[in-house]
Structure 1
Amino acid sequence: MATTPTKDASSPPGSGKTFFGHPRGLATLFMTEMWERFSFYGMRALLTIYLLSGGPDASKGLQTGGLGMDLATATAIYSIYNSLVYLLAMPGGWLGDRVWSPRKTVAVAAGTIMVGHLTLALPGSGTFFVGLALVALGSGLLKANISTMVGHLYKGPDDPRRDGGFTIFYMGINVGAFFAPLAIGTVGEKVSWHLGFALAAVGMALGLAQFLIGSRNLSPESSKVPQPLSPQERSAWLRKGFTWLAVAVVAYAIIVLSGHFTPNWVMIPLTVAGLIIPAGVLWRIKRDRSLSTGEQGKMSGYIWFFVAAAVFWMIYDQGGSTVQAFGTNKASDSVLGLSFPTSWYQSLNPIFIMALAPVLAWFWLRLNRRGSEPSTVVKFSVGLAFIGLSFFFFLIPLFMASNGSLVSPMWLVGIYLIQTVGELCLSPVGLSVTTKMAPEKYASQMMGVWFLAVTAGDSVTGLLSIAHVGLNSTGVVTLEAALAVLAGVAVFMYRRRVRDLMGEVH
């Protein structure tokens, strides 16, 4: 990436060398995030179709060598994996704050992700699930800490470069996410599944290498543990951790030895935990008697946003499972005579984000200058309406393919485009309102709470799939679409009540 050629590359933080006018450490974190997202989204583009390959719901010439699962099981695994990534962001942030420091946690996370992808590259279902667990763990550890390190590069929240720095950083997410399916997806789908997973490991290895080399440009603050555990706290946490681990080992040993073990013994507890933990966290914060009346009101208002976001992500994340499977099995794999791997569908969302985010930001700014910019509540309701509209739109190709014919891939393009518009209405606003409505006592934890909305939404999808609800049937797609639209209408109808609870935050 281009930098100003005024200093030697080894110049320390705070010297004259910059990255597009920002601290040099931003380049290190940008590249780390880009390669991590490259490996993450590349593997995710292959996940559903690899699970389906060789099974009853795979068709249209997918190469063999996958795990041969039906669509319900594949969707459940995909959803559980997604929910775990966001669930583990909270303990990841805790480790960075109290045990390892953000910098060390990111290094450990990157190494864990790389090992996970290498494990996925090995044949066998046992090694596959170990690898998937390692990637989820590493991604959770990295997610909160690397964003914290970006903040450390600037002189407090009032630094005028701060927002621009985060904008550049998040571009790394979408650049990596766009190129990943094109490279890893093509190799995995057309050459070898395991070679594709190995390529994801190479991407993470590049990200880890440049992070370690460029870490001298990071803020010294990133190497500090903000609130280190006392020896007594460390002993207590280790004792609790080993106790729960022992309980789990004994319980599952009994289940396995008795001959009753099935995959549901793993999948159901994980999906239930993905619902109970978010609800428990919100309940604990809401019931905290040390919060002021104003903070209590804001938390009541925030619960509306959380539930709405969970409904949104429940549908949105099916873009990598239900919609991806439909594109693989029911849509043509060529446009204007040019064939393409179906994993390329996962590149549509990041390219749409990069194209539409500046347009939408300009649109909101223009409305603001005219005094007519929608409130946060209205933007949320619009995001829900769009995600519901995307599944109403999905019904058209579902009906067209019901007679066995292949539909145009442009229907998939339309679905992902509508979902991206909804995401841009809801996701950035959700991040902003989370920081603004957070009680002072929980300011550093509330971003993890926002991620738990994704966990809750994906857990619902996982439970429905475990129950073998046909998520690709017209009836279920209609119900989900209607649920999202009705949720959007409900949020809009009660916007004044929610805004009253938000206090001065609008």
Structure 2
Amino acid sequence: MSPIPVELAVDAASAVAANGSPRKTFFGHPRGLSTLFMTEMWERFSFYGMRALLVLYLVAPHDKGGLGLNAATGAAIYSVYNAMVYLLALPGGWISDRLWGARKTVLVGGVIIMTGHFLLAVPASVSFFVGLGFIAVGSGLLKANISTMVGHLYPDKNDPRRDGGFTIFYMGINLGAFAAPLVIGTVGQSSLGYHFGFALAGVGMALGLTNYVLGSRNLSAKSSVVSSPMSRAERTSMLRKGLFWLALAVAFFGAVALAGHLTVGWVTWTLTVVGLIIPVIVFARIRRDKDLSTDERGKLTGYIWFFVAAAIFWMIYDQSGSTLSLFAQNNTSSKLFGFNFPSTWFQSLNPLYIMALAPVMAWLWVALHRRDKNPSTAVKFGIGLALIGLSFGVMMLAMAAASGGVLVTPLWLALVYLVQTVGELTLSPVGLSVTTKLAPKKYASQMMGIWFLAVTAGDCVAAVLQQVMGDAFLSTTSFAIQGAAALLAGVAMVLYRRKVRALMGDVH
């Protein structure tokens, strides 16, 4: 969720039309940026607002409007859902490239997301889980393409406004993420109930869609282009294969249901295994490609180090909406300096810290570079892993302080989120950069989707731990084990940095 921390630059000459009259701009940028900014802000508002309530709704007793699941199952469902969102970004990009183009794909994705949120608002467990599936599919379509559309607004890749445009766009992400728990979380935890909060998330997505449709005339024509359209024969073949796999899935799950085994836990385990297997298959397929040069194979091997490190990082980081949310609800005082607040408000700390610290981190790397002391990519990954491990070390202490039913001060979680955010700003932007640098030429456009698979893998590992450990996943032992694992992984990245550097070839 990190923004790209760079300076804003405005090219005033581009604001003049061919006839000499000034065109409307958005802070000196193409007008379409405002459309994409607002669309993404409202989509993130709906996404993070729903996510702030998700695990709380899953574990809340029936008499309090929830599904009454145990904490471990609720947390595992949350982890698997998050994993599927990032997994589906891979086919989302493919659909844009081969079938619909970015503009149409984002529109369809937004409609599916909105439908999913309103399905969550229906007080029935079946519609709820169907709604989660809709949101995951829609997010995969939208997430994979809306950032690409920002790039389309700047046909000249050397346009000095380009980086500034992405900075403004990513600020929209964090504004939506910051406001969502404060608004949707408050409503969902009020007497109005969780379903009203889910409906409010749907309204947020509806506002984003309305803005998108009304402002679509300001978008680049390139966003409507299908970059690699399928032939009629390819479409027919794809449809045939798609129907075959759909029929096979329906038959399989139908048989499981008839046998009486189609439970929430069974589906969660199935999706967890799928989320772990697919990244392995993707890497194996690319690694065996005979078109890759020896140098590209070496770089791909080096990238696996970063991929595994990122998966460990996201395994812990993405528990902010599950493990930490449950700790906030059950073990943390909801009062600070005499002010009472809902537990979902903790979810706003991360985007708040990002907006405050991203410019500081950007300045730090530049300052270190000028002094020839900028850490290597492997070292930055090591620092990020150490920090995320340290955050669970803090959680171990907080959990110990909460023993015996004591409600601990909110400052514990405030510190945990601060440490995690610094870790994110150390690892995530660098990970995006190294992904593009180490990508084999043949797979340059697919590597960003592969980076998202690290999130999928990490969340699936978290789901395994949560399902295997049961309610013990929310314990000092669990926090200690996961924190130590991340810390050791960080140390390994630093110790083996020269080996990783050698595999990276000419990439620095």
TM-score interval (norm. to shorter): over 0.9
Question: Identity across aligned pairs (percent)?
Answer: 62
Q: In angstroms, what is the RMSD of aligned CA positions? A: 2.0
Partner of 1:384, secondary structure, is helix
Partner of 2:100, secondary structure, is coil
Rounded to whole Å, the distance in 2 between the matches of 1:444 and 1:341 is 42
- Partners of 1:6 and 1:16 within 8 A in 2: no
Rounded to whole Å, the distance in 2 between the matches of 1:432 and 1:7 is 28
Matched with 2:244 is: 243
Task: Summarize the alignment of residues 478-493 of structure 1 with structure 2, pairs less than 5 Å apart.
Answer: 478-493=480-495
Aligned length: 495
Partner of 1:364, secondary structure, is helix
Matched with 2:423 is: 422
Rounded to whole Å, the distance in 1 between the matches of 2:262 and 2:142 is 32
**Runs of at least 4 residues off by over 6 Å:** 3-8
Deviation for aligned residue 1:98: 0.4
Partner of 1:200, secondary structure, is helix
Deviation for aligned residue 1:159: 2.2
Deviation for aligned residue 1:5: 13
Matched with 1:360 is: 361
- Partners of 1:102 and 1:145 within 8 A in 2: yes
Provide closer, same or farther for how the CA distance between residues 343 and 15 of structure 1 changes in structure 2, counting only shifts above 3 A: same
The reply on whether 1:151 has 2:158 as its aligned counterpart is: no
Matched with 1:339 is: 340
TM-score using structure 2 length: 0.95
- Partners of 1:4 and 1:18 within 8 A in 2: no
Rounded to whole Å, the distance in 2 between the matches of 1:454 and 1:15 is 44
Task: Summarize the alignment of residues 400-415 of structure 1 with structure 2, pairs less than 5 Å apart.
Answer: 400-415=401-416
CA deviation profile, 1:407-456 (whole Å, cap 9, x unmatched): 00110111111000000000000011111111111011000000000000
Partner of 1:159, secondary structure, is coil
- Partners of 2:307 and 2:454 within 8 A in 1: yes
Task: Summarize the alignment of residues 32-111 of structure 1 with structure 2, pairs less than 5 Å apart.
Answer: 32-54=39-61, 64-111=64-111
CA deviation profile, 1:190-241 (whole Å, cap 9, x unmatched): 1321111111011100100010111111110000100011111111111111
- Partners of 2:11 and 2:161 within 8 A in 1: no
TM-score using structure 1 length: 0.95
The reply on whether 1:139 has 2:146 as its aligned counterpart is: no
Matched with 2:169 is: 169
Deviation for aligned residue 1:468: 3.8
Unaligned runs of 5+ in 1: 56-62
- Partners of 2:396 and 2:477 within 8 A in 1: no
Task: Specify the code of the residue in structure 2 equivalent to 1:476.
Answer: S
Matched with 1:288 is: 289
Deviation for aligned residue 1:251: 1.4
Task: Specify the code of the residue in structure 2 equivalent to 1:79.
Answer: S
Task: Specify the code of the residue in structure 2 equivalent to 1:474.
Answer: T
Deviation for aligned residue 1:6: 12
CA deviation profile, 1:285-319 (whole Å, cap 9, x unmatched): 12211111111111011000000000000000111
Rounded to whole Å, the distance in 1 between the matches of 2:408 and 2:434 is 40
Task: Specify the code of the residue in structure 1 equivalent to 2:306.
Answer: F
Rounded to whole Å, the distance in 1 between the matches of 2:293 and 2:22 is 43
- Partners of 2:272 and 2:463 within 8 A in 1: yes
Provide closer, same or farther for how the CA distance between residues 4 and 202 of structure 1 changes in structure 2, counting only shifts above 3 A: farther
Partner of 1:302, secondary structure, is helix
Rounded to whole Å, the distance in 1 between the matches of 2:261 and 2:68 is 22
Deviation for aligned residue 1:4: 12
- Partners of 1:25 and 1:215 within 8 A in 2: yes
Matched with 1:59 is: none
Deviation for aligned residue 1:7: 12
Provide closer, same or farther for how the CA distance between residues 336 and 95 of structure 1 changes in structure 2, counting only shifts above 3 A: same
Deviation for aligned residue 1:165: 1.1
Task: Summarize the alignment of residues 134-283 of structure 1 with structure 2, pairs less than 5 Å apart.
Answer: 134-190=134-190, 191-283=192-284
Rounded to whole Å, the distance in 1 between the matches of 2:11 and 2:386 is 45
Partner of 1:99, secondary structure, is helix
Provide closer, same or farther for how the CA distance between residues 117 and 11 of structure 1 changes in structure 2, counting only shifts above 3 A: farther
Partner of 1:467, secondary structure, is helix
Task: Specify the code of the residue in structure 1 equivalent to 2:494.
Answer: F
Task: Specify the code of the residue in structure 2 equivalent to 1:19.
Answer: F
Unaligned runs of 5+ in 2: 1-9
Matched with 1:376 is: 377
Rounded to whole Å, the distance in 1 between the matches of 2:439 and 2:158 is 18
Matched with 1:349 is: 350
